[in-house]
Structure 1
Amino acid sequence: MSSISAIAQSGMQAALQRQSSSANNIANQNTEGFRRELVSQQEQSGGGTQTSVTRASQAGSQLPEDMVAQMASSYSFQASLKTLKTQDQMMGALLDVRA
């Protein structure tokens, strides 16, 4: 797998994790004692990103923040997918030129 596709796929996985965590936070915001999930991303050497999920130290809802995270993760996923599609098209064009 080329580094471009690995980077795009790790970006898509990170976006899905952020989407899942923010959806969980929204769904459980009124559950007594629920502590929000917090997603952090770290750059990997060689490209890509690694995500980790932790719990907030205190119970409480942050609905606006979670709604923004939903939108941001959706846009991030779309951007990574576009990168993957563009890389695929470039490889196809390269093969056409060489054939």
Structure 2
Amino acid sequence: MNSSVSAIASSGLRAAQMRMDVSANNVANASTPGFRPQSVQEEAVPGQGGVAARVKPATGAPAPAQGGEAAAAPSGTSLEGEAVDQLSASYAFTANLQVLRTNDRMMGALLDVRA
């Protein structure tokens, strides 16, 4: 069970890191002409547990603002949306890290009992 818990939490860490990387890239290139934002698609891995993540082009067009101008950056990147995505990725990373720490403590306690 230990290895499966570690593998599941590790896959969550990798997915959260990928989400943060993609969001940071979107923000850094928000004003770059021709840049198209990306997003991360996550899927459960049946039979193994954990999550598989892959980068894909973001969907949706920038919402028009007053005066007909786009509310987002020229690339269609919503900085507000990226801020939310970064917070969400940060919380997901922290939660998965806590699972790993708890698993390590449980294994340590089990070894202490068996010793």
TM over 0.5: yes
Report how far residue 39 of structure 1 moved: 0.6
In structure 2, the residue matched to 1:47 is 49
For 2:79 and 2:41, the matched residues in 1 are separated by 18
**Partner of residue 109 from structure 2, selected from 81, 93, 98:** 93
Residue 51 of structure 1: SS of its match in structure 2?
Answer: strand
In structure 1, the residue matched to 2:34 is 33
Q: Which runs of structure 2 are paired with 1:1-99 in the superposition (5 Å)?
A: 2-45=3-46, 46-56=48-58, 59-99=75-115
Aligned-CA RMSD value:
1.3
For 2:79 and 2:19, the matched residues in 1 are separated by 14
Structure 2 stretches lacking a partner, 5+ long: 62-74
Q: Number of residues paired by the alignment?
A: 99
Compare the two structures and name the one with the higher helix fraction: 1
For 1:38 and 1:75, the matched residues in 2 are separated by 17
Q: Which has the larger radius of gyration?
A: 2
How does the TM-score come out when normalised to structure 1? Answer: 0.94
Report how far residue 82 of structure 1 moved: 0.4
Residue 2 of structure 1: SS of its match in structure 2?
Answer: helix
The runs of at least 4 aligned residues of structure 1 exceeding 4 Å deviation read: none
Deviations 1:25-55 (A, max 9, x none): 0010010111001110000012100001012
